[in-house]
Amino acid sequence: MMSKHPGTGSHTVTVFVFPGVRLLDVTGPIEVFTTANEFGGRYRVQIASQDGREVITSAGTRLGADVSVDEVQEPCDVLVIPGGPEWETLIKDDALLDVVRQLDENSRCTASVCTGAFLLAAAGLLNGRRATTHWRHAQELASRFPSVRVAPDAIFVQDGQMMTSAGVSAGIDLSLALVEDHYGAEVARSVAKDMVVFMQRPGGQSQFSVRSRAPHTHQQMLRRVLDSVAENPGANHTLTAMARRAGISVRHVTRLFYDEVGTTPARYVEQVRLEAAQGLLETGDDPMPVVARRTGFGSPESLRRAFVRHLGVTPGAFRATFRTAGRGREGSGVHVGAVVVEARVDDEELSAA
């Protein structure tokens, strides 16, 4: 992290906002830093817009600004660059990118939330660095900016003075890590408890949708195979069975998966089965042998190995963490642990290849 010895000094946080910014990308970090002030932190948070006027967020709400960018004279300790749904338009706005560079020059640490990483990358601030973003856009970040080493499953990443976080609420994780760095683990833990969030959430971004990341294909024979896997993950989905279902050769199925889905048939089937198991664990009470059988893993041990390999948590831990909110039990609490710089650091980085 930025410092080895947490202290008691004050820290200035500047949050840059613009029309179409995502509301939680802004308010999540602000809530962390201002809540830290209740437990011994000394943060001064200011919202800066390009001209000092209020902006309309992607949610349609008005968000006031404290200062204009030109009024940000003193160096800030943390600069927060949030994202927005219209990031493709934002990265073509040269004036906006100039503002991001201007603010970065006056900041000791620059941190993006969600698709804010695209603004940093377009401004040239992530060249040669590791970074992450929302799982839905990780491959796009790698493709558009090949000099950025994208870690697709990280909750957040630090590389030098640059920090990037995954989608939306991951900005809270990143901000908690900064609070720990500035004021120690006890303060960060108190903030996490007060906000009823994890100081270290289990697993990485792989715990979120696999099937929604699969591209639409116009190959009808492959579409039949993909649909059959999604409709019944527990069925027989060997390579031979899929080839028979599609009416083509095993070699042709394998080639279609590589070309259209970007992975092997076996890996895709395992990912869909994993997602199906997550759904059963989140919403039901079936014992592990039933979950394993219904989702095609066969045994609880195979299910456990897949969860640990892909998500970094056991099925039992996943169920305890991601159960439907209405299933809370009296006396249960939020488990908090040490903050980490990033989750799943051993994951392969995406490349533009």
How far, in whole angstroms, is CA 195 from its chain's centroid?
19
Separation between Cα atoms, residue 333 and residue 337, nearest integer Å: 13
* DSSP codes joined into one string, 240-267: HHHHHHHTS-HHHHHHHIIIIISS-HHH
Q: Which residues pair with 131 in a beta bridge?
A: 150
Separation between Cα atoms, residue 287 and residue 321, nearest integer Å: 16
Separation between Cα atoms, residue 232 and residue 2, nearest integer Å: 48
114: annotated active-site residue: yes
Looking at 90, 114, 197, 277, which residue is catalytic? Answer: 114
Contacts of 247 (CB under 8 A, 6+ apart): 221
Query: Do the Cβ atoms of 272 and 279 come closer than 8 Å?
Result: no
Please give the positions annotated as active site: 114
